[in-house]
Chain A
C-alpha cells in the first residue's frame, strides 16, 4: 500500500490516521459570532436593536408615569434636559411617551413573532415530514389563510375580541402571519427528509419525534430566524397601522401607532410630533431587517470562516 500512511497506535491493532490538521477547535457559537461580526451592517443593526430594546425597557421604568402625566403648564413646551423632545399638546413628556410607545410596539412585535414561529414551525414541520395527505391538507389551510386579506382579518379579529387589548393584537397578528414561516419550514423539511444524516439518524434507531426535533428543526431554523426577524418588523408595522386606525392600542396607553394618529392633528403646528414615532418605527424595521440578514449568514454551520 504505497502512499498510505497508516500508523499504529500503541497497545491496539487499530490503524490511526496520520493527518495533520491545525485548525483550532471552535464551538458553534464562536463560529456564529465570527461570521456575524463580518457582516458590518448586521453588527450596526444589532447595536441599534440593543439600544432600542434597552431604552424601551429602562426609560419607562426610570421615568415612572411621565409618559401619561398631563400638565396644562407644560403644553407644547420646548425641549429641556428632562424632556429631550419637549412636551406635546397635552403637556406630556414626548420622549417618555415615545419610549413607552416603543416598548409596547416592540413587545407586540416580539410576542407576535413567537406565536408566528410556534405555529409556523409546527405546521411546516408536520407537513414536510409526513408528506402525503397530511402535507396536502395543511398546505391548503395555508393557502386559505393566505387568500384572506390579512389586515382586514386582523381588524375583524381585534374588533370582535376587544379593541385595545395587547394580547388580542398579538394573537391576531400571530394567527394570520404564520403562513410564510410554515412554508419555509416545510420546504426545508422536504429536502432535509431526504438528507443522508436524517437517514443515518433513523438507522441509529431514532424515532420520528427525535428525528424531527433534534435533527431536522435545527437545520431548518436558519430561514425561520430570518423570517422571524423580518416578522418583528412586519408586526410592529401592523400594530402601528391598527393603532393608527384606532383599533390597536388606544390612549392613554402609548404605542408608536397611536402617537402618529395624534400627531396628525398638530401636523402643521408641530410636525416633529409625527417625525419622532415615524423615525423610531423606521429604525426598528431597519434594525430587524439587517439583523435577520446577518443572522442568516451566521447561523449556517456549513459556511466556513476564512482564516485570516
Chain B
C-alpha cells in the first residue's frame, strides 16, 4: 500500500491500519485497512453499526488491543511520533496525557472503590508527578470546569452516588485533566438520556473550544455527528466506506450504506408510515462475502460488485468505496464486467486516501 500523503497540520494519521483477531474459529478482520487523519482542533466523527470496527480502531490508537487481537499492519502517527514503534513505557505516557479516552458506559468506567476526586487526581499525578494534595485541588477544579456544582463535596463521593450524566462529566474531567491534544470519545452519550446527552455534547463542544483539542468521536448516532463533527468517516465491516466533511455526507452521500443510514433517521414533520431500514445484518466477520462487503444488503448491487470496489474520489476530499460513478451511475466498464477487467478498473479508480 502506498503511503498516504500527510495533509498539513494533521495531528493523528492512521494509515492502512489492520487489527485482526486470531480466534479459534478463524481470523476476524475487525479493522482491515483503515486510513484517516484528524487535524489539530478538528472533530472527526466515526460512524457505523455495532461491530464495524469503530471501537477497535480507537483501541488500536491507544494500543490497548488485547489477545487474541493484534495490530498486523499499518501505521498510526501522532504529530511526528509513530505510536506503533513506541515502547510500552513510552506508550503509557502517551495514554491519558497526549491522548485521552472516554468510554461508552459511565456507569462502569469509574472504579467503584475510590471517590471521584481521587480518580481524577490519580490521572493527574500519573503524568505530572505532582503532590497528592495539589493533584486533589486540581481535580476539584476540573470537576467544576465540567459543570459539576459543589465540586468540593462531589469529589469525595463515590461513583455509585452520582447519576449517569454526572459520572460522564467526571470521566470527561478525568480525560481532560492532563490537557490532551486528542480526545477519543467512544460513544460518550449512548448510555445517557436524551436530555443529558444534549448537556454532555454542549459540554464537550465548550471544552473543545477552550482546550483547542482534536476529538475522534465514535458513534452510531448521526444526530450526534451533525451536532459535533467537522469531518465524517463511515465504517462498514472493518473498512472505511465513505469519508468527507460533514455537510457533504449529509447532503450528497454517495455510498449506498451512508444513504441507507441517513434514510433510517425519522424526520420531524414528514409523513411516512414506516421508517426505512437497511435490510439484513452486518456480514459474519468470519465469513465475509467476496467483493463488496455491503453488496448483500445494497439496493444498487450489480454483478461487478463481486470484485472489491475502488475507493474513488467523488469530488475533492470526498471518498467512497463503491462501484457507482460520482453521478451514481453504474461504472463505465459495465455493471457485469469480467472479473479481470473489473480488478484493473478498480485499481485505476482507487485513490490512496
Residue ranges of A at the interface with B (Cβ–Cβ < 8 Å): 1, 3-6, 9, 12-17, 19, 21, 23, 25, 27-28, 31, 131-132, 195-197, 199-207, 210, 214-215, 218-219, 301-302, 304
Contacts and interface: CB of A to CB of B under 8 A. Distances in A.
Given A132-B67, A200-B171, A13 B126 contact: no
Contact of B113 (A4, A13, A301): A301
A73 B109 CA distance: 72
B67 A204 contact: no
Interface in B73-98: 89, 92-97
A14 B146 contact: yes
B195 A3 contact: yes
B206 A14 contact: yes
A206 B114 CA distance: 15
Given A13-B210, A204-B95, A204-B174, A199 B111 contact: no
Interface string B195-211: 10011001100110110
B103 A205 contact: no
B169 A17 contact: yes
Contacts of B122: 204, 206, 214
Contacts, number: 125
Nearest to A206: B126
A296 to B, nearest CB: 15
B67 A17 contact: no
A28 B112 CA distance: 10
Contacts of B153: 25
A28 B163 contact: no
Contacts of A195: 108
Nearest to B105: A196
Given A14-B145, A196-B108, A202 B95 contact: yes
A15 B114 CA distance: 26
Interface residues of B, number: 54
Given A200-B109, A205-B93, A206-B92, A304 B160 contact: yes
Nearest to B89: A207
B199 A17 contact: yes
Contact of A9 (B147, B165, B166): B147
A33 to B, nearest CB: 15
B103 A199 contact: yes
B108 A197 contact: yes
8 contacts: A19-B166, A200-B110, A202-B62, A203-B62, A203-B95, A203-B101, A204-B95, A205-B127
Contact of A204 (B100, B158, B199, B203): B100
Contacts of A4: 195, 198-199
B269 interface: no
5 closest Cβ pairs, A-B complex: A204-B96, A205-B96, A16-B147, A205-B95, A196-B108
A28 B161 CA distance: 11
A12 B127 CA distance: 26
A13 B206 contact: yes
Given A16-B149, A203-B64, A21 B163 contact: yes
Interface string B119-142: 000110011000000000000000
Contacts of B148: 16-17
Contacts of B165: 17, 19
B113 A17 contact: no
Contact of A207 (B92, B108, B209, B210): B92
Interface of B: 62, 64, 67, 89, 92-97, 100-101, 103, 105, 108-115, 122-123, 126-127, 144-149, 153, 156-158, 160-163, 165-166, 169, 171, 174, 195, 198-199, 202-203, 206-207, 209-210
A12 B209 CA distance: 12
B126 A204 contact: yes
Contacts of B94: 205
A201 B114 CA distance: 12
A197 B96 contact: no
Given A13-B209, A203-B64, A301-B160, A197 B147 contact: no
Given A197-B112, A203-B95, A304-B160, A14 B103 contact: no
B112 to A, nearest CB: 5
A9 B143 CA distance: 13
Contact of B163 (A12, A19, A132): A19
Given A6-B199, A28-B115, A200-B109, 11 more contacts: A4-B198, A6-B202, A14-B203, A19-B166, A21-B163, A25-B161, A196-B108, A203-B62, A204-B174, A218-B114, A302-B160
Contacts of A23: 161
A219 B112 contact: yes
A196 B186 CA distance: 12
B160 A15 contact: no
Contacts of A214: 122
A27 B147 contact: no
B101, B115, B158, B199: most-surrounded residue (chain A CB, <10 A): B199
A92 to B, nearest CB: 49
A15 B199 contact: yes
A305 B90 CA distance: 43
Contact of B198 (A6, A28, A31): A6
Contact of B97 (A28, A205, A215): A205
A49 B222 CA distance: 61
B2 to A, nearest CB: 32
A23 B161 CA distance: 8
A14 B161 CA distance: 23
A23 B108 CA distance: 21
B198 A199 contact: no
A201 B64 CA distance: 11
Contacts of B209: 13
A58 to B, nearest CB: 35
B166 A17 contact: yes
A200 B145 contact: no
Contacts of B145: 12, 14
Contacts of A203: 62, 64, 95-96, 100-101, 103
